[in-house]
Amino acid sequence: MLLSMTGYGKAEAIINNKKIHVEIKSLNSKNIDIQTHIASLYISKDLEIRSYLSQRLIRGKVDFCLWTEDLDASQTVTLNEDIIHAYIEQIKRISAKENIVPPTDNWWEVLSKMPGISQQPAPQEITDDTWAVIMSAIDEAVGHLIDFRKQEGNTVKHKFDEKLSNIASYLADVSKYETQRIDKIKQNITDGLKSLRNVDYDQNRLEQEMIYYIEKLDINEEKQRLSNHLSYFAQTMENETAQGKKLGFIAQEMGREINTLGSKSNQADMQNLVVKMKDELEQIKEQVLNIL
């Protein structure tokens, strides 16, 4: 089964009047590259989260976000009444002493600029039960991301199947021109010799040299190896384990055989087929970069 490195998953959980949001995105990368954005309360769990993501996602550029939303807004920030009262008394006393008119209808404008009039609730301890709920949400988000990867991988597999089939079809068409190509090479050599006047040559030696030359242009081995690579690529796609790098290596070998076919073709129709095979292979290579 093919898995793409492109994926997206999210999940939510509610605990202690807080909604926990988890969102994960992934793109292609040579190795695992994790970026985390975690609410300050849970930042101590960063290494544990990274380790878990590395085990589950294996490869890719991963962007992980975990943030919280307070469901009880009244508990998020409280005003410190004692400090506010002390500020008012001090302002009144200093105003009277310095003969300054104290605020009348804009007290809150003045007090809002004073430090310490509000206070955040004390940070909560991360209990085992709390963290179990959060990890469950992370696990759910990762599961959604992997499902996304499977869908993308299935789409890519259909493209690979199409491209492999096209290359195999072009390879089969090459055989149509092989006999014609050899006959043309023989004819060109013979015509060239006939055009030379007053030159004697050994007919037997000519036949030997011609056989040697034609053997160097033989493409049966390249055709067989390319056919084997096509089959191996298709088999590798069915493996359960990650195989993006392996598919890349096979694609490189396919490219070598196609290039050799092109250098030996010496025939316009065959060269056109080679160009088409290269085009199909380039599309395979582009997609391989996104396979896990």
Give pLDDT tens digits for 2-19: 999 999 999 999 988 889
Instruction: State the pLDDT at residue 267.
Output: 79
For residue 80, give the 3-state DSSP assignment: coil
245 falls within a domain: yes
Predicted confidence (pLDDT) at residue 119 exceeds the cutoff of 80: no
- For residues 87-109, one letter each, b for 16 or more C-beta atoms within 10 angstroms of the residue's C-beta and e for the rest, the string is beeebeeeeeeeeeeeeeeeeee
pLDDT in tens, 195-225: 766 666 666 766 666 666 666 677 888 999 9
Range list of β-strands (E), 185-253: none
2 falls within a domain: no
Are residues 145 and 11 located together in one domain of the fold?
yes
178 falls within a domain: yes
The CA distance from 255 to 52, in Å, is 38
184 falls within a domain: yes
Mean pLDDT to the nearest integer, 74-94: 80
CATH number at residue 12: 3.30.230
Are residues 86 and 213 located together in one domain of the fold?
no
Predicted confidence (pLDDT) at residue 41 exceeds the cutoff of 70: yes
Are residues 34 and 110 located together in one domain of the fold?
no
Q: How many separate domains does the chain show? A: 3
Q: Give the Å distances, CA to CA, from 54 to 15, 34, 51.
A: 26, 8, 5
Are residues 161 and 259 located together in one domain of the fold?
yes
Structural domain of residue 155, as residue ranges? 151-288
100 falls within a domain: yes
1 falls within a domain: no
